[in-house]
Amino acid sequence: MNLPCDQCATSCCKKYTVFLSAFDIFRLWNGTNILLLELVSFLPASKASGGFSPFAFSLGGKGRFLLTLRRNHGICAWWSADNPGKHCTVHEFRPDDCRCYPFNLFHGQLKVAHQKICPTDWSLVTAFEKDFTSANQRKKTNFFQYQALLQTWHEEILPELAGKCLSLSDKKGRFLSFFLTQTAQLKEIYS
Ligand code: SF4
Ligand code: SF4
């Protein structure tokens, strides 16, 4: 049975910003040949909802950031109109957010997220409940672990960089390298 998403003309990929954890970065980078700094954007946390604040981080200057999947011209940079039925060009390695949408876990139960654009009546599509439940559980675990790694970044790595004369671009590179190394060691990545 195919997911309704395969034939979807609305596509949440064109609408929503995708927030990333360290595990998403590793999976995408490891599975594609895309350069790290091309995969992601550093979104000022002030532009996102407060619900994301546990995942905001400092690069040593003013303001905090969130990692998001790069967008081009207002849509996900990895969405392609050329491939009906397979619009996602990184499908196998897509982030947790993409694997879970449009569901959330609410007290352990799978619920359709509040949103306005998805044309599918998911109450009629029950065949994928197990997959969406396990994707949401993994996402939760990955983001908790990412939060712990962010703490290490702030408490151990960032102070070490403070005395060095690094550009913002250098700091972004150091940030991404740190998480790649850490997530590779944790080996909890799935595809
Ligand atoms: S989740 Fe909904 S809007 Fe997104 S691709 Fe699937 S059917 Fe379309
Ligand atoms: S990575 Fe793929 S599934 Fe996720 S928003 Fe981009 S095109 Fe859509």
Q: Which of 21, 38, 76, 101 to mutate to test the pocket of ligand 2 (most atoms within 8 A of CB)?
A: 76
Kindly give the distance from the C-alpha atom of residue 158 to the centroid of ligand 1, in angstroms, as a whole number. 39
User: Can you spell out the DSSP letters for 10-64?
Assistant: S-GGGTPPPB--HHHHHHHHHHS---HHHHEEEEEGGGS-GGGGGG-B--SSSS-
Cα gap 77→89, rounded to integer Å? 9
Residue 38 lies in a domain: yes
CA distance 88 to 94: 8
Q: How many residues does the chain have?
A: 191
**Residue 119, in any domain of the structure:** yes
Residue having the nearest C-alpha atom to atom 8 of ligand 2:
13
Whether 16 maps to a domain, the answer reads yes
Q: What pLDDT digit, counting tens, does each position of 151-160 carry? A: 999 999 999 9
Q: In this structure, which residue's CA is closest to atom 3 in ligand 1?
A: 118
Position 163 pLDDT exceeds 90: no
Of 63-67, 70-74, 103-107, 123-127, the least confident: 123-127
Number of independent structural domains in the chain: 1
Residue 191 lies in a domain: no
Cβ of residue 5 lying under 6 Å from some atom of ligand 1: yes
In this prediction the pTM is 0.90
Asked if the structure places residue 181 within a domain, the reply is yes
Instruction: Give pLDDT, residue 117.
Output: 86
Whether residue 178 lies inside any domain: the answer is yes
CA distances from 80 to 6, 123, 189, 191 (A): 13, 28, 25, 20
50: domain range? 4-186
